[in-house]
C-alpha cells in the first residue's frame, strides 16, 4: 500500500549537495523558521515499511502550498500540520 502512494527520490550525497548547496541544515532550518507558514510532517515511507524501523516515523516534511493541502487531503491519518513558534 505504501509503495502505491509514496513518491520520493533518493539522492546520493553528491546529488543532494548539488541540489541544496552542500549546507542542508542551515538551509532547512531557515526554510522552516522563515518560510511559508504551511508546514506538515508525514509518515516516512521508508521508515514505515521497515520491520525494525527507527522512531519516530512521521519525519518527512512538506513546506508550502499546494502540496501541504494535497498531502493532508490524501493522507489524513499519517500527516499533521505543524506550526512555527514565533518569539519563543
Eight-state DSSP code of residue 77: T
Residue 13 lies in a domain: yes
* Residue 60 pLDDT exceeds 80: yes
Range of the domain at 57: 2-82
Residue 88 lies in a domain: no
In this prediction, residues 37-49 reach a mean pLDDT of 85
Angle subtended at Cα 15 by Cα 19 and Cα 51, rounded to the nearest 5 degrees: 110
pTM over 0.75: no
Per-residue pLDDT reduced to its tens digit, 9-32: 667 778 777 766 666 678 778 877
CA atoms within 13 A on the CB side of 25: 0
Confidence grade of residue 70 (pLDDT, cut at 50, 70, 90)? very high
Residue 18 lies in a domain: yes
Amino acid at each position: 500500500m505504501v509503495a502505491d502512494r509514496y513518491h520520493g527520490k533518493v539522492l546520493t550525497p553528491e546529488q543532494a549537495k548539488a541540489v541544496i548547496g552542500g549546507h542542508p541544515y542551515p538551509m532547512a532550518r531557515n526554510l522552516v523558521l522563515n518560510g511559508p507558514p504551511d508546514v506538515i510532517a508525514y509518515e516516512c515511507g521508508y521508515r514505515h515499511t521497515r520491520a525494525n524501523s527507527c522512531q519516530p516515523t512521521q519525519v518527512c516534511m512538506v513546506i508550502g502550498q499546494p502540496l501541504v493541502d494535497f498531502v493532508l487531503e490524501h493522507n489524513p491519518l499519517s500527516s499533521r500540520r505543524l506550526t512555527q513558534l514565533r518569539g519563543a
